[in-house]
Amino acid sequence: MRHLTCPVLALILSGCTVGPNYHPPGSAALKVPEQYNSAPLPGGPSVDLETWWTSFNDPVLSDLIATSLSANNDIDAAVSRLRAARAAVRGAHGALLPVIGASAGAGATRTLRGTDSDGETYSAGFDASWEADVFGGNKRALEAARATAEGSEATLHGVQLSIAAEVAANYIDLRSTQAAIAIARANLGYQDDTVEIAGWRVQAGLVGSLDLEQSRVLRAQTAATIPALETAFSAAANRIAVLTSQAPGAVTTLLAKPAPIPLGPDAITTDLPAELLQRRPDVVAAERLLATETARIGVATAQLYPALRLSGSLTSLSTSLDGLGESILGGLASAITAPIFQGGQIRAQIAGQSATADAALASYRQAVLVALEDVENALVALRNAKRNEDIRIVAQSAAQTSLLYAHSQYRAGLIDFPSLLLAQQSLLSSQNSRNTARAARATALIQLCTALGGGWSVVRLPPGVTS
């Protein structure tokens, strides 16, 4: 046995881990610039990206997002996938350890014919086996499992980011719809006055019936927008309810009271583009997938080399229970298996896995570029949304003043009725445009925070889930 053990130990000690050692691609290889091309507006505050929604200073929005992050079903599903991935890591680690088993037995014999040889026999034993990871195939498998689990964790954070952003976007839509309903109803009041004035002038014989009918048309057109807006409100409220894992309609009462569209800062301080590689969950998940596929090249390569398996056993046999342990037999065996002819299957598997790793690298590069694109677009959108809202404020103010003049001049007979209708239409349009611009500004901030990788926090995992 000593003659066998020495070569075996020498083989184990001289073993190596086959396959490429993984190193994440650097910023230069990923074409990450040193600065963003679109600089944010000057004076922007530093927002805590992990909880960016608090920068809107809207307690209702913050509560809804907090509820969604703790109760959303998609997040629960992602947590379960993370649990499965971490269990796979423990399984891959177990492949590096010996397997130990125990056995016990008892038997009885009775003579049916011939010489008496009745009796009982008892046995007990232990056996162990271990496949030495001489060429590191199991280590590479463990490396791949760990990278997969880390990718699952990044995917979980990506789901959190998406859910928080979707709740916020629907909340902005809901508040914008409420404002549009209020604008329509206020304009109905102006238009009711116009219908009444036109009716008086028709009765007085000052104008024809055309003025009255035109005023009634404009009022009906404004009134017709309200049902569609109310439908949009219900849809946004129901979507928020589902995102918080509640039945549709559960939050409608909470959100029924009108409130202004919340606005965060005009601009926020952005980190260097390279920070996206560590913060954006989709980029992290793509990088971890690359690490997984690279490690699997080593798993496939290890199949080209011999496998060493050691096994041993301890067994005791006795005719009585008390006698177990008096006589113990031990055995130790080793075996080496090696592929000789596999028809090129192993090398084809290695080539296929290498191609898969190349595809993962291309996907990682693309994920980085898309992340940079998202940030650049969001920076431009936020800056232009603020400029657009400022312009719409001026237009609304001018439209309100114009309508006051038009009303007074029409009463005095200084302008015709189409001029008054045009002033009313201009006010309604300018108010809706300002409301849309305010919503776009809030949405642009959500998009920027999301593009920068904000919007996820550490989820409290269920009991028994370990890292």
In percent, the amount of the chain with pLDDT more than 90 equals 42
For 312, phi and psi rounded to 5 degrees?
-150, 160
pLDDT digit string (tens) for 97-130?
787 777 776 766 665 665 555 667 767 777 777 7
Distance (Å) of CA 323 to CA 102, 120, 320, 329, 386: 18, 12, 5, 14, 91
- For the segment 266-292, the average pLDDT, to the nearest whole number, is 88
Sheet with 328-337, side-by-side order of all strands: 99-109, 119-132, 307-318, 328-337
| Higher pLDDT pick, 324 / 272 | 272
CA distance linking residue 259 with residue 240, whole number of Å = 16
pLDDT band at 137 (very low <50, low <70, confident <90, very high): confident
pLDDT at residue 42 in the model = 63
| pLDDT greater than 60 at residue 457 | yes
pLDDT at residue 279 in the model = 87
Q: 244: Cβ–Cβ under 8 A, 6 or more apart, which residues?
A: 64, 67, 68, 71, 72, 167, 250, 251
- In 3D, which of 291, 69, 41, 36 has the Cα closest to residue 164? 69
| Cα angle 147, 152, 153; round to 5 | 95
- For the segment 165-184, the average pLDDT, to the nearest whole number, is 95
pLDDT digit string (tens) for 198-224?
788 778 777 778 878 888 888 898 899
| pLDDT greater than 70 at residue 180 | yes
pLDDT at residue 322 in the model = 66
Judge residue 442's burial from the number of C-beta atoms within 10 Å of its C-beta, 0-12 exposed, 13-18 middle, 19 or more buried.
buried
CA distance linking residue 262 with residue 255, whole number of Å = 14
pLDDT at residue 197 in the model = 79
Question: For the chain, which domains are there?
Answer: 34-97+145-304+352-467 (1.20.1600.10)
Phi-psi region of 412 (alpha: psi -120 to 50; beta: other; left: phi over 0): alpha
pLDDT at residue 44 in the model = 62
- For the segment 173-189, the average pLDDT, to the nearest whole number, is 93
CA 2 to chain centre: 57
pLDDT band at 324 (very low <50, low <70, confident <90, very high): low
What's this model's pTM, rounded to 2 decimal places?
0.85
CA distance linking residue 369 with residue 363, whole number of Å = 10
3-state secondary structure of 311: strand
pLDDT at residue 10 in the model = 45
pLDDT digit string (tens) for 387-443?
999 999 999 999 999 988 888 887 777 888 888 888 888 989 999 999 999 999 999
- For the segment 323-332, the average pLDDT, to the nearest whole number, is 69
| Higher pLDDT pick, 269 / 257 | 257
Q: Are strands 328-337 and 307-318 parallel, antiparallel or unpaired?
A: antiparallel
